[in-house]
Amino acid sequence: QVHLMESGGDSVQTGGSLRLSCAVSGDNPETACMGWFRQTPGKGREGIATHESVLGSTSYADSVKGRFTVSRDVAKNTVYLQMNSLKPEDTAMYYCASTGRGGWSRCGSRKSSDYTHWGQGTQVSVSS
């Protein structure tokens, strides 16, 4: 049983930084491929970053490249999203997700449909 729980969301001003955490529990193969997504009301979930645990490969959406960094602490079983130079357009609910069992072929995908396990989300608000 995979369980994901995000934390670290807050309200910050433009240019500020936040670090989101995703506590991961459950079968390791099911959580080897992780993604961070965000969603605003009335819009679909946008995949913004992915992390693969064997090689440590990462990928980023153009909207966050150079500002956000995804990483994983294996000992703490936690995936992080470091967000710098935040902008008002980064305001959203942020979710972490895993591709689940047999999900290696979907590793690195930023499509929400490729992920089977989701956390409950954490809100990030950036004011100008």
Tokens of 43: 């819009």
Buried b or exposed e, range 67-105, using 16+ CB within 10 angstroms = ebbbebeeeeebbbbebeebeeebbbbbbbbbbbeebee
List, as one string, the DSSP characters of 9-64: --EEETT--EEEEEEEES-GGGGSEEEEEEE-TTSPPEEEEEEETTT--EEE-TTT
Q: Say how far apart CA 3 and CA 22 lie, in whole Å.
A: 10
pLDDT per residue of the chain (128 residues) written in tens, 0 to 9: 899 999 999 999 999 999 999 999 987 778 889 999 999 999 999 999 999 998 899 999 999 999 999 999 989 999 999 999 999 999 999 999 999 887 888 899 999 999 999 999 999 999 99
Helices vs. strands in the chain: H and E counts, helices first: 0, 11
